[in-house]
Structure 1
Amino acid sequence: MTTKRFIAIAGNIGSGKTTLTRMLSDHYSWEPHFEVVSNNPYLSDFYGDMNRWSLQLQVFFLSKRFQAHQTIVKSNISAIQDRSIYEDAHIFARALKEGGQMDERDYENYFELYTTMTQFLNPPDLVVYVKRSVNCLKERIKERGRSFEQNIPKEYLQLLERCYEDWIKEYDLGKVLIVNADTLDFKNSEDDFKYVCSQIESSLTHPTRFTNC
């Protein structure tokens, strides 16, 4: 692909989106922009007390994601982003509000900030949504062993999954490719990874807005 591309990889916690981001970056020589986890000053506190740290965490992510998105848009080279700025608001902030960890006042202030910021951003050429069952998410979270993730309730992952499904259905800023990671083992199967790549290439050139693979 010689045309400059901006690809966003979306997905729940433990879905494999970071793995796919890295693999696609290596395969196509796209510049990767990974989610800030290791040096996030709020993440471990948030999982210990979601009510106390929900707004601070979401504003931190919003700021970092906005900076990465701007960098990608202004650059002349193709790039791939591990989780998009749109997920911050439509998935995680919404889930916190619905779950009672963020009150209505904080959510409205946050969403107004998000809306103002995203008015200045060009959307990705393609959103690749890595979809995986909640039971599989729990297993993967356990296997990767991040201490601050081990007590994430199954109900919270289910709520995030529902928010993702609603967002994907309503997303109208560009094209969407849904990758069923329960059936496509792109990490360990070369054939599955090649298939995902072929579907990405097809999605970028095909007029259809939504594609499943």
Structure 2
Amino acid sequence: MEKFVAVAGNIGVGKTTLVQRLCDNLGWTPFFEPESDNPYLPDFYQDMQTWAFHSQVFFLTRRLRAHKNLSAHPGSVIQDRSVYEDAKIFAHNLYQQKQMGERDYQTYQELYQALVEFLPPPDLVLYIKASVPTLQGRIKQRGRDYEEQ
């Protein structure tokens, strides 16, 4: 891998659009976040405290695999949603909101730290923002059932 840029931000903020435009203009390779096939999501949305850890470990595993694949790419890459967001934002927020218990959170963080040591970090992280009404409108417009929870 030559250069590695990660794009971060809320759901519906425009990460995929930005990644595609940058890659089209720069001739880089995009690595997109796959649409969710997390088998824990329906359970998670019904009972976050019970399923937060399981769901986050699933996402972490998927993103670690994606990161491994992009690090083997010979050219420059831009990634839509990185492994760092999982640990530093999503799992952390679930813990702070008391949706993930102390023991599960510590286990998750230890797993994350042990695995991320083997990954090359991004050269640049682009964080993009939009207002909550804008995000809600985009999510509704896309019509993905699992996003509207």
TM-score (norm 1): 0.65
Structure 2 residue aligned with 1:132 = 130
Structure 2 residue aligned with 1:122 = 120
Corresponding residue pairs, total? 149
What is the CA–CA distance in structure 2 between the aligned matches of 1:26 and 1:42, rounded to whole Å? 34
Deviations 1:57-109 (A, max 9, x none): 11111111111112222221111111111110110001111111111110000
Gaps of 5+ in 2: none
Structure 1 residue aligned with 2:66 = 68
Deviations 1:138-189 (A, max 9, x none): 22212211112223xxxxxxxxxxxxxxxxxxxxxxxxxxxxxxxxxxxxxx
Structure 2 residue aligned with 1:202 = none
Q: Classify the secondary structure of the residue corresponding to 2:108.
A: helix
Higher relative contact order (CA 8 A, sep 6+): 2
Q: Cα–Cα, structure 1 residues 133 and 45, in superposed 2: closer, same or farther, change >3 Å? A: same
CA RMSD of aligned residues (A): 1.7
Gaps of 5+ in 1: 152-213
Cα deviation for residue 120 of structure 1 reads 1.2
TM-score (norm 2): 0.90
Q: Classify the secondary structure of the residue corresponding to 1:35.
A: coil
What is the CA–CA distance in structure 2 between the aligned matches of 1:83 and 1:13, rounded to whole Å? 10
Q: Cα–Cα, structure 1 residues 73 and 140, in superposed 2: closer, same or farther, change >3 Å? A: same
What is the CA–CA distance in structure 1 between the aligned matches of 2:2 and 2:9, rounded to whole Å? 23
Q: Cα–Cα, structure 1 residues 87 and 44, in superposed 2: closer, same or farther, change >3 Å? A: same
Structure 1 residue aligned with 2:35 = 37
Q: Classify the secondary structure of the residue corresponding to 2:87.
A: helix
**Which structure's CA Rg is the greater one?**
1
Deviations 1:104-153 (A, max 9, x none): 110000001101111111111111111112222122212211112223xx
Cα deviation for residue 5 of structure 1 reads 1.6
What is the CA–CA distance in structure 2 between the aligned matches of 1:21 and 1:29, rounded to whole Å? 11
Structure 2 residue aligned with 1:10 = 8
What is the CA–CA distance in structure 2 between the aligned matches of 1:44 and 1:18, rounded to whole Å? 24
What is the CA–CA distance in structure 2 between the aligned matches of 1:92 and 1:104, rounded to whole Å? 15
